[in-house]
Amino acid sequence: MAEVTIAVNGVSSSHSIQDRMLLVHYLRDVLRLTGTHVGCDTSQCGACTVLLDGVAVKSCTVLAAQADGSHVATIEGMGTPAALHALQQAFREEHGLQCGFCTPGVVMAAADMLRRNPSPTEEQVRSELGGNLCRCTGYHNIVKAILRAAEQMRSEQQSPARAVPMAAAAR
């Protein structure tokens, strides 16, 4: 068993877990944060994408024990129904989601993308989405949503790091 202390969305807690437990199972089964999903076995689909110490990772390919002492940001920490994050709002405006299963991972990956590049081109957005599979949208509206959010975030002069508090806290 491993003792881990992980700050998730700004709330730190400690648990005794099996060494083999994946971060995604820690989030889902221990913390009951079920917005982070599992869609594949091989790190392709990206439904499990979260921010680990401020950068996007696939939480199905990280042990919870590896994240001991780290900060994790999940979709639940992005915004609330009453106050959606600019990315969440843009996905709604542009119809960037259908079934919603891949969506949390796509939003977290987009947060990481815009942190590194606040003004991406359409081509860069498409390329940077390489780790997130969506079977519903054909990506057309996901790309539009991310471009819209980027514009919105720039116009608000809201840095993506501020938009994702954990990203800032981790540095």
Partner 1 sequence: MATVMRPNSLVGTSVKRTEDVRFLTGQGHFTDDLTLPGMTSAVFVRSPYAHARIRSIDATRARKHPGVLGVFTGQDLMAVNPLPVGWLLPGLRIPERRVLAVGTVRHQGEAVAVIVAENPYAARDAAGLVEVDYEPLPVVVDAEAALAPNAPRLHESQPDNSAFEWSIGDAVATDAAFAGAAHVIKQRFRNQRLIANAIEPRACIASYSAAGNDLTLWLTSQNPHVHRLLMGAFVLGVPEHKFRVISPDVGGGFGSKIFVYPEEVVACWVTRKLGRPVKWTADRSESFLTDAHGRDHITDAEMAFDARGQIVGLRVRTIANLGSGLSLFGPSVPTYLYGTLLCGQYRIGAIHCSVTGVFTNTVPVDAYRGAGRPEACFVVERLVDLGALELGIDPAELRRRNFIASDQFPYQTPVALAYDSGNYAPALERALELAGYAQLRAEQKQLRAEGRYLGIGLSSYIEACGLAPSQVAGALGAQAGLYESAQVRIHPTGKVTVYSGSHSHGQGHETAFAQIVAGELGLALEDVEVIHGDTAQVQFGMGTYGSRSAAVGGAAIHMSVQKVKDKARKIAAHLLEAAEGDIEVEGSNYFVRGSPERGKQFGDLALAAYLAHNLPQGLEPGLEAVSFFDPTNFTYPFGTHIAVVEVEAATGAVTLKRYIAVDDVGNVINPMIVEGQLHGGVAQGIAQALWESAEYDPQGQLLTGSLMEYALPKAEMLPAFETDRTVTPSPVNPLGVKGAGEAGAIAAPVAVANAVLDALSPFGIKYLDMPYTPSRVWAAIQQSGRK
Partner 2 sequence: MYAAPFEYHRASSVQEAVGLLQRYGDDAKLLAGGHSLLPVLKLRLSTIGHLIDIRRIEGLSGIREAGGEIVIGAATSHAALQHSQLLQQKLPILAEAAAQIGDPAVRNLGTIGGSLAHADPAADLPAVILALGSELRVEGPDGSRTIAADDCFTGLFSTALRPGEILTEIRVPVPTARTGTAYEKHAHPASGFAVVGIAAVLTAGTGNTIAQARIAVTGVGTAATRAGKAETMLMGQTPTPDLLQLAASKVPDGIAARGDLYAPPEFRAQLARVHAERALLRAWQRMR
Where do contacts with partner 1 occur on this chain (CB under 8 A)?
Answer: 18, 20, 28-29, 32-42, 44-45, 47, 74-76, 78-81, 84, 88, 91-93, 95, 97-104, 107, 122-123, 125-127, 129-130, 132-143
How far apart are alpha carbons 160 and 13 in whole angstroms? 26
Between 103-116 and 140-155, two packed helices, what is the crossing angle to 10 degrees? 50
SS (H, E, C) 11-46: EEEEEEECCCCEHHHHHHHHCCCCCCCCCCCCCCCC
Taken as a whole, the chain contains a residue count of 171
Instruction: Give the contact letters, 94-123, x = binds to partner 2 (CB under 8 A), - = no.
Output: ---------------x--xx--x-------
Pick 114 or 163: Cβ nearer partner 2: 114
For the CB of residue 163, give the shortest distance to partner 2 in the complex, in Å.
Answer: 17
Closest CA to 11 of 68, 77, 97: 77
Q: Is 135 in the site for partner 2 (CB under 8 A)?
A: no
Task: Count interface residues toward partner 2 (CB under 8 A).
Answer: 33
Residue 31 or 63: the one with the smaller Cβ distance to partner 2 is 63
CA dist 26 and 24 (Å) reads 5
Closer to partner 1 by Cβ: residue 64 or 171: 64
35 binds partner 2 (CB under 8 A): no
| DSSP-derived 3-state class of residue 94 | coil
Q: Does 157 bind partner 2 (CB under 8 A)?
A: no
For strand 2-8 and strand 71-73, is the pairing parallel, antiparallel, or unpaired?
A: parallel
Q: Could you list the residues that contact partner 2 (CB under 8 A)?
A: 2, 18-20, 22, 25, 38, 41-44, 46, 49, 52, 55-58, 60-63, 65-66, 68, 109, 112-113, 116, 128, 130-132
